[in-house]
Amino acid sequence: MHLISINDFTNKQIVKVLDLAEEIREHPEDFQKLLDGKILANVFFQPSTRTRISFESAMLRLGGKVINIGDMAMTSTSKGESFEDTVRMLDDYADIMVIRHFEEDAVKDVKSISQVSLINAGNGMDEHPTQALVDFYTIRREFKRLNSLNVVICGDLLYGRTVHSLIHVLIRFNNRIYLVPGGRRGLNKDFRDNLEYLYPDMTRLMLFPETTLFSRLYALYPEKGLKMFSSEYLRSIANIQIIRSSDSGGDIKPSVLYMTRNQQGTVPINEDAQEYDPYPVITQILLESKFFNEPIIMHPLPRGPELPVSLDNHPRSRYFEQAQNGLYVREALLLLMLNVVKW
């Protein structure tokens, strides 16, 4: 089996990954030889610290071995070899492949020719399913559940692939999502249309035409039968988040504030985008505001100015823990996808 999209896994399989990750965390000694004799190929056509190295560490901790494709300039890709041919070769050299590619379709196109399992470690701006599993695992460790949470996802929703996978998984487990795009980096229409198609009874979108720091707030409601808040009320909440509060926001208060970096620099952007609203930043004032005085702070990293280092010791910061959790989740994935542990 391959993991290209988070939707390649059923809810049951997602829970299995998280359960196994927890077992590995608690009893690492029970797993340390299970992948003896297996080889993982790390095939990264884009830079990575957490994903690539945590997969490598995960494989080594389970007793397996790792080959890295390394610098592209030193491979036959630089002589014009196609990605398909590269994957065909690696198929013979490894038992499982982790692939990050700048083109959205590259990993999708090779899944039918690969004899070994492929794990998508980020395909263009599309998805990053293993990050979503890491995020979901972090959320479950915090709240001891996977549903009925209010999650604010903020930042580059257009190009940030981590949030695309996370949105699917949050909706599938009946969580409420507030989307706060940085500038005009909202979800693109195709993605929103696909959400409407996949979850016809569950998804609704709302728009806040506010000009505050969190200038546009969309909400995805998993409940059938949209629970409507008046635009007046929503507007007041939106203002409260940024300025000061006289209203708690009731049961719509967020449990998680998930921030992402501006992908500018990673992807080409429209020149006009430079002139859009400033990118949101998590500030101490924001975290003390009534709407945001409870949520944990998550971020897939690497960060930019949206997540100041002054927050690293904040009692609600969880982003380094999130990165650490990547190890256990990826160990679990390797064991399951290599069929060494039964699903």
Closer CB to ligand CP, 133 or 242, in the complex: 133
- Closest approach of Cβ 123 to ligand CP, in Å? 12
Closer CB to ligand CP, 68 or 174, in the complex: 68
What does the radius of gyration of the chain's CA atoms come to, in whole angstroms? 20
Closer CB to ligand CP, 86 or 260, in the complex: 260
**Number of Cβ within a 10 Å radius of residue 315:** 8
CA dihedral 113, 117, 120, 126 (to 10 degrees): 50
Residues binding ligand CP (CB under 6 A): 48-51, 128, 131, 300-302
Closer CB to ligand CP, 302 or 305, in the complex: 302
Closer CB to ligand CP, 122 or 222, in the complex: 122
Which residues are within 8 A (CB) of 84 and not within 5 positions of it... i.e. 6 or more apart? 109, 110, 113
Output the six-digit token pair for 276: 């859009």
Q: How far apart are CA 210 and CA 280, in angstroms?
A: 14
Q: How far apart are CA 10 and CA 17, in angstroms?
A: 11
- Alpha helices (H) along 144-276: 161-172, 189-198, 231-242
Backbone angles phi, psi at 127, to 5 degrees: -145, 160
Output the six-digit token pair for 278: 């400033």
Q: How far apart are CA 239 and CA 214, in angstroms?
A: 9
- Closest approach of Cβ 25 to ligand CP, in Å? 19
Q: How far apart are CA 297 and CA 319, in angstroms?
A: 7
Query: Measured in whole angstroms, how far is the alpha carbon of residue 241 from the centre of its chain?
Result: 24
Q: How far apart are CA 7 and CA 165, in angstroms?
A: 8
- Closest approach of Cβ 136 to ligand CP, in Å? 14
- Closest approach of Cβ 232 to ligand CP, in Å? 38
Closer CB to ligand CP, 93 or 320, in the complex: 320
Closer CB to ligand CP, 126 or 237, in the complex: 126
Calculate ∠ Cα 183-188-190, nearest 5°. Answer: 175
Which residues are within 8 A (CB) of 126 and not within 5 positions of it... i.e. 6 or more apart? 104, 161, 164
Q: How far apart are CA 250 and CA 189, in angstroms?
A: 31
- Closest approach of Cβ 135 to ligand CP, in Å? 9
- Closest approach of Cβ 47 to ligand CP, in Å? 7
Closer CB to ligand CP, 151 or 242, in the complex: 151
Q: How far apart are CA 205 and CA 187, in angstroms?
A: 11
- Closest approach of Cβ 128 to ligand CP, in Å? 6
DSSP SS3 for 84: helix
Closer CB to ligand CP, 47 or 209, in the complex: 47
